[in-house]
Amino acid sequence: TIIHKHTWDMPSADLEVRHEAPLPTEMHWRPNKMVMQYHIFDAVITEEKFISNTDVVATRMTSNIPIIVEFTGKTFAWIPSKTLSKNATLSFDAAHNAVHVIEGGKVQAKVEENPSVIKDAKLMYDGMSTIVQSDRPIQNYTQEQLDVGEHSYTFRLDVDALGTTLAWVMHDDFATALSAINSVVTDPTSYIDAN
């Protein structure tokens, strides 16, 4: 799954002002995380990105005024000319407040360089579960089939001074992935400090 875009929405007087893919005004690299800060009108948004020791990729977002962040992602499909088939599935798991993708497909893979040998092969992520989860309710979730076995999704999260954590993980086993991501989402600070 690729989360390729996020949008900041700032409700004001019943109007929604959208800021597509804003650029940070400050970036600070730390040994255990990357801190980014955005200044959009009166909002000061801080994002702490980190990777846990359990291979969960996460971000902790705060804003001095309430905003809504919209995320868009899709199942993995790479170069169309090299993709033979796609059979990924996508669903929203309300019980775990999570997007669940099971990747699948066949591709052409280069198995030897000289001479160049191309073979039909399983997608490297075939059968793997990807989970995107937050500690705040995922809102306005929608999904769309882009092609046979290829899907996109969009959802929104509230972000305010209390903070919102969003995390991503991929694993061969769904239960293992869910356990890892639940741990990070429920206690992100301990994972940041453990790095």
- Tens digit of each residue's pLDDT (9 = 90 or more) over 68-91: 899 999 998 777 888 899 999 999
Dig out the tokens for 108 from the structure.
């052409």
CA distance 5 to 154: 10
> What's the pLDDT band for 3 if we cut at 50, 70, 90?
very low
β-sheet bridge partners, residue 35: 28, 48
Give CA–CA dist 100/131, Å, rounded: 5
Proportion of the chain above pLDDT 70, given as a percent: 92
| Mean pLDDT in residue range 170-186 | 96
- 3-state secondary structure at position 29: strand
Given a cut of 80, whether residue 14 has pLDDT beyond it is no
Confidence (pLDDT) at 15: 65
Q: Which residues, in sequence order, are bridge partners of residue 29?
A: 34
pLDDT tens sequence across 110-136 = 889 999 999 999 998 999 999 999 999
Q: What is residue 144's three-state secondary structure?
A: strand
Whole-model pTM: value is: 0.87
Closest CA to 97 of 9, 185, 7: 185
pLDDT at 172 over 60: yes
8 Å CB contact between 177 and 170: yes
Positive or negative torsion for Cα 164, 170, 171, 175: positive
What kind and span of H or E run contains 155? Answer: strand 150-159
Given a cut of 80, is residue 143 above it in pLDDT?
yes
Quickly state the pLDDT bin for 32 (edges 50, 70, 90): confident
- How confident is the model at residue 18, as a pLDDT? 80
- Three-class SS state of 183: helix
Looking at the chain, the whole-number percentage of residues with pLDDT higher than 90 is 70
Dmax of the chain from CA atoms?
Answer: 64
